[in-house]
Structure 1
Amino acid sequence: MTLLCRYHHTIIHQQDWEIVMRNGIPYYIPPAWVDPQRKAIRNTMHAAVCC
């Protein structure tokens, strides 16, 4: 699971994005019209920092 605001939650469903978890980190798979290879990407802007 990942936390999304209402706007981005809606976009995920309306535009055929997918979210996969890898080692507890969400990766976003864009729809084919954004990236034909559908390469998983990570949002590093809000990365959790530990100790």
Structure 2
Amino acid sequence: MTLLCRYHHTIIHQQDWEIIMQDGIPYYIPPAWIDPQRKPIRNTMHVAGSVGTAS
């Protein structure tokens, strides 16, 4: 599970995003129209020691 605000929860469902957990960390898989390879991405905005870049 991961927490999302109402806006992003709606976007996840409306635009076919997926969320997977790897070692307790959520990774977001964009729909094919955004990334045809559907590469999982991680939100690092609130990670200790991070400068806010996605890895």
* TM-score in terms of structure 1 length: 0.91
Calculate percent identity across the aligned residue pairs. 86
Residue-pair matches, total: 49
Higher relative contact order (CA 8 A, sep 6+): 1
Shift, 1:46, TM fit: 1.5
Matching residue's letter, 1:21: M
Cα distance between partner residues in 2 of 1:48 and 1:28? 19
Alignment deviations for residues 3-22 of structure 1 (CA, whole Å, 9 cap, x no partner)? 00000000000000000000
Unmatched tracts of structure 2, length 5 or more: 50-55
- Cα RMSD of the aligned pairs, angstroms, is 1.2
Shift, 1:48, TM fit: 5.2
Alignment deviations for residues 5-51 of structure 1 (CA, whole Å, 9 cap, x no partner)? 000000000000000000000000000000000000000112257xx
Unmatched tracts of structure 1, length 5 or more: none
Q: Which runs of 4+ in 1 moved over 2 A?
A: none
